[in-house]
Amino acid sequence: MTPPTRYRDAGVDIDAGEEAVRRIQKAVHSTFGPHVATEIGRFAGATVIPGGDPNLLIVASMDGVGTKLKIAAMMERYDTVGQDLVNHCVGDIGVHGSEPLFFLDYVAMGHLVPTTVEKIVEGLAIACRQNGCALLGGETAEMPGIYHGDDFDLAGCIVGTVKRQEFVDGTSIAIGDVLLGFPSTGMHTNGYSLARRVLFDNGELKVEDRLPGTKLTLGDALLAVHRSYLPVLRSLKGIMNGAAHITGGGLPGNVNRMLPKGTNARIHVDRWPVPPIMKFIGEIGEVPRDDIYRAFNMGIGLVVAVASERVQEAVKATSNEAIKIGEIVSGTGTVELVGDPVW
C-alpha cells in the first residue's frame, strides 16, 4: 500500500520556514527606525517617508511564483505566471488597504530565451494594467550553473500607498466578528511541489491528462491564473476589520496573521466546495488533512473579518460573492478548522 504523501515528502518543510522567520526577526528588527510603521509578520511592510507626509504610508511586499514555474515549463506556456506574480503581490498589500503604485520584476535563467522572457513580461504587463500599477523596471539575469535546462525563477516587488487612518492591520477585530471567504481561481501560487510529487512523480500522470469531473487538462487546471482580490478589497474599505491573503501555509498559516491577541479564528470547512484539482490531489495522494490545508488554499483565497452587524453590507458590496465561513472567538491566536470538507 502506498503511504500517504505529506508536504515534507515533496521537499517543502513549512515548519522549517517558520523557524527561519523566527531566527531572522532580531536581525531584521535591528534595521527599523521610527519611520517603520509595522512589525514583522504582516503580509506587507509599511513606512512613512522621513520628512514627508506622516499620514501617508508606503506599503511594500515581494514574493515569487514558486514551483508553478515547473508546470509552465512542462506546458511550454509562459504567458500566465507573470499575471500570477503581480496578482499575488497585489493581494499581499491589498489586505492592508493599500493601492498598488508600481511593480518590479526579477527573471533568472541558466541561458536567456528571449521569447520566454517576452511572454513572461507580457503577463506581468497584463496584470499591472488590470491592477492599475506601473511595471517600473526589473532585472533579467543569466546564471548558467545555477539554473539548468528549462529551469528559471521569477520574483517581484510591489509598492503601494495607503493613508495611515485607512491602514488595515487586524487590531480592530473583535470576538463575534464574522469571517467572510472569497473563492480562489485554483491553486494560485502555492502547493505545487506537493502537486507535482503526487500527480507526476508518484502518479505518473501527464499535464495533458484530463482532470476527472472537468473538461480541463491537469496542466490547464494547474496553470489557472491567480485571482486579483483588489476589486473585493476596494469594495470593503471602511467595512473590514482585518483581511488575510491565503498563500503559503493555507488557511491555518495566514488567517492567524491578522488576529489580535486573545482571539482565535474558527473556520467551518464544510461551507464551501473544495476545487476539483485539490480534491484529486488529496485523493490520489492520500494527503493528510493537516498537510493539505497547509499546502493549498482549498478554494478560499481571501478571508475578511467584519463586524456581525455589517455582514449584509459587506455581502452586498461584494456582489453576494462572500461566503460566511466562520467567526472570531476567544483564544490564543490560532485557526480552528472544524467540520469536514465538501469534496
Beta strands in 143-297 (DSSP E): 152-163, 178-183, 240-245, 263-268
The pLDDT tens digits of the residues spanning 152-191 come to: 999 999 999 999 999 999 999 999 999 999 999 999 999 9
Rounded to whole angstroms, the Cα distance separating 185 from 225 reads 7
What pTM does this model have?
Answer: 0.96
Mode of pairing for the β-strands spanning 56-64 and 152-163:
antiparallel
Fold assignment, 16-166? 60s Ribosomal Protein L30; Chain: A; (3.30.1330)
Residue 76, CB half-sphere, CA atoms under 13 Å: how many? Answer: 3
Rounded to whole angstroms, the Cα distance separating 154 from 127 reads 15
Give domain 178-338's CATH number out of 3.40.640.10, 3.90.650.10, 3.30.1370.110, 1.10.260.40: 3.90.650.10
Which residue bears the cell 493539505?
A: 292
| CA nearest neighbour of 44 among 57, 31, 27 | 57
Q: Could you read off the pLDDT tens digit of each residue along the chain, which spans 343 residues?
A: 467 898 888 888 888 888 998 999 999 999 999 999 998 889 999 999 999 999 999 999 999 999 999 999 999 999 999 999 999 999 999 999 999 999 999 999 999 999 999 999 999 999 999 999 999 999 999 999 999 998 999 999 999 999 999 999 999 999 999 999 999 999 999 999 999 999 999 999 999 999 999 999 999 999 999 999 999 999 999 999 999 999 999 999 999 999 999 999 999 999 999 999 999 999 999 999 999 999 999 999 999 999 999 999 999 999 999 999 999 999 999 999 999 999 8
Question: What are the cell numbers at 46?
Answer: 509599511
| CA nearest neighbour of 121 among 110, 142, 107 | 107
Sorted by where each begins, the domain ranges of the chain are: 16-166, 178-338
Name beta bridge partners: 2: none
Question: CB burial class (10 A; 0-12, 13-18, 19+) of residue 167?
Answer: middle
| pLDDT on residue 162 | 98
Rounded to whole angstroms, the Cα distance separating 297 from 247 reads 7
| pLDDT on residue 343 | 87
Which residues are within 8 A (CB) of 7 and not within 5 positions of it... i.e. 6 or more apart? 13, 14, 191, 193, 194, 287, 291, 294, 295
